[in-house]
Every structure is written in structure tokens, then in C-alpha cells.
Amino acid sequence: MNQALKKIIGPRVHPDEWAAHRGRYLLPTALLVLAAVMLLVSIFIPFWHMQLNAPQYPGGLHVTGYVNHLTGDVQEIDSLNHYIGMRKLDEAAQLERSLSVMMITALSLLVLGAVFIHSKWAALLSVPAILFPVGFLADLHLWLSYFGNNLDPTAPLSSSIKPFTPPVLGTGKVGQFETVASAGPGLILAAVASVVILVALWRHRAAYKPLLDKRAQSDSGASPPQKSDVTD
């Protein structure tokens, strides 16, 4: 096996070592698989919810955002936004929404790939999935900020509204309107998956670093390989 590839993939576990400490090696694998499944499931459930409270709508208007589409009172909110010169909601993050399913699937596959990597490179494969929930909120914040700070000056009520940035999470006010934004179960699930991955990587290091150290000693000739050492 090529030495560079050997270092990336990491050591293989000797059958005797596996039999003696099966749980030690199964736990990080199970956690990584669980996190990958959680990410895939998040595709199909809401990531974000926003309620717009306005005097003419006693029950408020609601928009639910999935990773690739919006549902709810989108047309009604677009009509209200038209008067203050704000763009239609569907014009935001079009590229991100078109690629979202493929991207999250790729993140899940990277996490699954980490199962077969018994070195520090497993963490590198998992980093994009760990950062995904934060990246989603950051991207949403940028779009909301862009829409709220680039109002159409020819809109009927543009002169009465100053540029603003609707909050990604929490409550905000724009004139007589109030917005209440909250994380959806999909985003929460993705965040939990990030935590699960971190725990998995911690257990992964505890399981495989001793094997890496043994192989390094063996390769350097510091000590002869033992029966419980790794196999290539």
C-alpha cells in the first residue's frame, strides 16, 4: 500500500484486538453513521420558521423554510414587502436551494467516509458537516441583510422605512410589523448531528490513536510489533 495513502487511511485493527475491545471501535462508527442519517433526514423537514405580525393579519403570516423551498404565506408577505421595496422571498438563495439536497447528501457521505478512516483525516472529512448549521444561519443572515438594506427607492412606502436587517433568530420590528424567527426541527437535527460527530471524533481518537502510536513505534524500529498490533 502506498505510504501516503496508508497514513491517511490509518491502521487496521488486528482480529484479536477487535474481539477484545469490540465496543471501543464500534461506538465511533455507530455515532458517525447516526449523524450521517440525521443529516439526510433533515433534508425533508423544516429548517427555519418566520412569523410576521401585522395589524391587518390578527393571526400573523407564516413562512416555513426547507433547505430547497419555502411554504406558507409567501405571496401575502411578498405583497407587503412590495410596498416597502423589498424583493420577493423566492429570489433569495436560489443557488443554495438548488444545490442543497446534493450538498447535504455529500456531507453525509463524507461523514460515512470517516468511518473507514482511522487517522486524524477522519476529522477533516467531518468538519464540513460540523460547520453546516452555522453556515446555514450565516448564509440566511447575509441574504436577509442584503434584502433589508437594498430596498427599492421607487416603492410606495420606501421613504417611511429605513434600511434594516431582519433577525435570523428572535424578534425584530420594521415599522408597524414584527417578525419572529426560529430554528426549525431540520436545523436543530443538523445541529444535534454536529454534536454527535464531535463526540464520535473524540471516541474515534481514543480508539485509534494508540494503534497509530504502536505502528509509528514499529515503523521506527523502537519496538517489535506485537500480536495485538495493527495489520496493514
Which residues of the chain are under the pLDDT cut of 50? 223-225, 227-232
* Mean confidence (pLDDT) of the chain: 89
Q: According to the 3-state scheme, what is the secondary structure of the chain? A: CCHHHHHHHCCECCHHHHHHCHHHHHHHHHHHHHHHHHHHHHCCCCCEEEEEEECCEEEEEEEEECCCCEEECHHHHHHHHHHHCCCCHHHCCHHHHHHHHHHHHHHHHHHHHHCCCCCCHHHHHHHHHHHHHHHHHHHHHHHHHHHHHCCCCCCCCHHHCCCCCCCCCEEEEECCEEEEEEECHHHHHHHHHHHHHHHHHHHHHHHHHHHHHHHHHHHHCCCCCCCCCCEC
Q: Is residue 53 part of a domain?
A: yes
What is the predicted pLDDT for the residue at 148?
92
Q: Which amino acid is at 111?
A: V
Q: Is residue 143 part of a domain?
A: yes
Q: Is residue 221 part of a domain?
A: no
Q: Is residue 125 part of a domain?
A: yes
Give the range of the structural domain holding residue 159, as residue numbers without chain letter: 3-207
151-193 tens-digit pLDDT: 998 988 878 888 889 999 999 998 788 999 999 999 999 999 9
What is the predicted pLDDT for the residue at 53?
92
What is the predicted pLDDT for the residue at 41?
98
Q: Is residue 230 part of a domain?
A: no
Evaluate the CA torsion angle 10, 11, 12, 18 in order and state its sign: negative
Number of domains observed in the structure of the chain: 1
Q: Is residue 33 part of a domain?
A: yes
Residue 125 near residue 135 (C-beta atoms within 8 A): no
Q: Is residue 216 part of a domain?
A: no
What is the predicted pLDDT for the residue at 216?
74
Output the pTM of the full model. 0.88
Q: Is residue 215 part of a domain?
A: no
